[in-house]
Chain A
Amino acid sequence: MFGLIGHSTSFESARQLAQSLGFPEYAQGDLEMWCSAPPQLVERFSVTSATGRTIEGAYIDSVFVPEMLSRFKTARRKVLNAMELAQKSGIDISALGGFTSIIFENFNLLKEQHIRNTTLEWERFTTGNTHTAWVICQQVEKEAPRLGIDLRKATVAVVGATGDIGSAVCRWLSQRTGVAELLLVARQPQPLIDLQAELGGGRILSLEDALAEADVVVWVASLPQGLTIDVANLKRPCLMIDGGYPKNLDSRAAGDGIHVLKGGIVEFHTDIDWQTVAQAAEMARPFRQMFACFAEAMLLDFENEHTNFSWGRNNIQLDRMDWIGAASRRHGFQALGLETETIPSLATA
Chain B
Amino acid sequence: MPFLDTTSPAPAAENDGLPDFASSAYKSAYSRINAIVIEGEQEAHDNYIALGTLLPSEAEELARLARMELKHKKGFTACGANLGVEADMPFARDFFAPLRNNFQKALTEGKVVTCLLIQAILIEAFAISAYHIYIPVADPFARKITEGVVKDEYLHLNYGQEWLKANLDTIREEFDQANRDNLPLVRRMLDGVAADAAVLQMEKEDLMADFLTSYQEALTEIGFTSREIARMAAAALVG
Asked if A25 meets B5 with Cβ closer than 8 Å, knowing A36-B209, A116-B132, A117-B154, the reply is no
Of B41-49, B106-114, B212-220, the segment with at least 4 beta carbons within 8 Å of chain A is B212-220
Question: Are B3 and A36 in contact, CB atoms less than 8 angstroms apart?
Answer: no
Per a CB cutoff under 8 Å, which of A23, A36, A77, A102 touches B1? A102
Asked if A187 meets B234 with Cβ closer than 8 Å, knowing A38-B213, A73-B12, A73-B203, the reply is no
B residues near A33, Cβ cutoff 8 Å: 237-238
The binding surface of chain B is classed by DSSP as helix
Cα A162 to Cα B3 with chains together (Å): 10
B residues near A343, Cβ cutoff 8 Å: none
Per a CB cutoff under 8 Å, which of A42, A77, A186 touches B5? A186
Question: Are B238 and A101 in contact, CB atoms less than 8 angstroms apart?
Answer: no
Of A198-206, A221-229, A251-259, A267-275, the segment with at least 4 beta carbons within 8 Å of chain B is A221-229
Could you mark each residue 91-110 of chain A with 1 if its beta carbon is under 8 Å from any beta carbon of chain B, else 0? Answer: 00001111111110111100
Q: Which residues 214-239 of B have a CB within 8 angstroms of A?
A: 214, 216-217, 220, 226-227, 229-231, 233-235, 237-238
Cα A302 to Cα B150 with chains together (Å): 40
In the complex, whether A40 has a CB less than 8 A from a CB of chain B is yes
Question: Are B7 and A29 in contact, CB atoms less than 8 angstroms apart?
Answer: no
Question: Are B233 and A244 in contact, CB atoms less than 8 angstroms apart?
Answer: no
Cα A77 to Cα B235 with chains together (Å): 21
B residues near A263, Cβ cutoff 8 Å: 2
How many A residues face the partner with a CB closer than 8 A?
Answer: 71
Question: Are B226 and A106 in contact, CB atoms less than 8 angstroms apart?
Answer: no
| Distance (whole angstroms) from the CB of A192 to the closest CB of chain B | 11
Question: Are A35 and B205 in contact, CB atoms less than 8 angstroms apart?
Answer: yes
A residues near B150, Cβ cutoff 8 Å: 117
B residues near A264, Cβ cutoff 8 Å: 1-2
B residues near A36, Cβ cutoff 8 Å: 205, 208-209, 212, 237
Question: Are A224 and B6 in contact, CB atoms less than 8 angstroms apart?
Answer: yes
Question: Are B205 and A116 in contact, CB atoms less than 8 angstroms apart?
Answer: no
Asked if A187 meets B6 with Cβ closer than 8 Å, knowing A25-B237, A38-B216, A116-B132, the reply is yes
A residues near B203, Cβ cutoff 8 Å: 73
Question: Are A42 and B226 in contact, CB atoms less than 8 angstroms apart?
Answer: yes
Asked if A96 meets B209 with Cβ closer than 8 Å, knowing A221-B6, A221-B7, the reply is no
A residues near B230, Cβ cutoff 8 Å: 23, 26, 40, 42
In the complex, whether A88 has a CB less than 8 A from a CB of chain B is yes
In the complex, whether A57 has a CB less than 8 A from a CB of chain B is no
In the complex, whether B4 has a CB less than 8 A from a CB of chain A is yes
Per a CB cutoff under 8 Å, which of A81, A85, A105 touches B3? A105
How many B residues face the partner with a CB closer than 8 A?
Answer: 39
A residues near B238, Cβ cutoff 8 Å: 25, 28-29, 33
Question: Are B1 and A221 in contact, CB atoms less than 8 angstroms apart?
Answer: no
Question: Are B209 and A81 in contact, CB atoms less than 8 angstroms apart?
Answer: yes
Could you mark each residue 1-35 of chain B with 1 if its beta carbon is under 8 Å from any beta carbon of chain A, else 0? Answer: 11111111101101000000000000000000000
In the complex, whether A72 has a CB less than 8 A from a CB of chain B is yes
Closest to B15 in A: A73
| Distance (whole angstroms) from the CB of B201 to the closest CB of chain A | 12
Cα A71 to Cα B12 with chains together (Å): 8
In the complex, whether A311 has a CB less than 8 A from a CB of chain B is no
Closest to A100 in B: B1
B residues near A40, Cβ cutoff 8 Å: 226, 229-230
Question: Are B2 and A243 in contact, CB atoms less than 8 angstroms apart?
Answer: yes
Cα A117 to Cα B131 with chains together (Å): 11
Of A48-56, A127-135, A141-149, A330-338, the segment with at least 4 beta carbons within 8 Å of chain B is A127-135
> What is A's interface to B at a CB cutoff of 8 Å?
22-23, 25-26, 28-29, 32-33, 35-42, 69-75, 77, 81, 84-85, 88, 95-103, 105-108, 116-117, 127-129, 132, 159-160, 162-166, 186-188, 220-225, 243-245, 263-264, 291, 293, 313
Instruction: List 6 interface pairs A-B (beta carbons < 8 Å), by A numbering.
Output: A25-B235, A40-B226, A42-B230, A84-B213, A102-B4, A106-B11
New contact pairs (20) apart from A116-B213, A221-B2, A264-B1, CB-CB < 8 Å: A26-B230, A26-B237, A37-B209, A71-B12, A72-B14, A73-B203, A74-B205, A77-B209, A81-B213, A85-B213, A102-B1, A102-B3, A106-B11, A117-B154, A127-B1, A129-B2, A160-B2, A163-B4, A165-B3, A222-B6
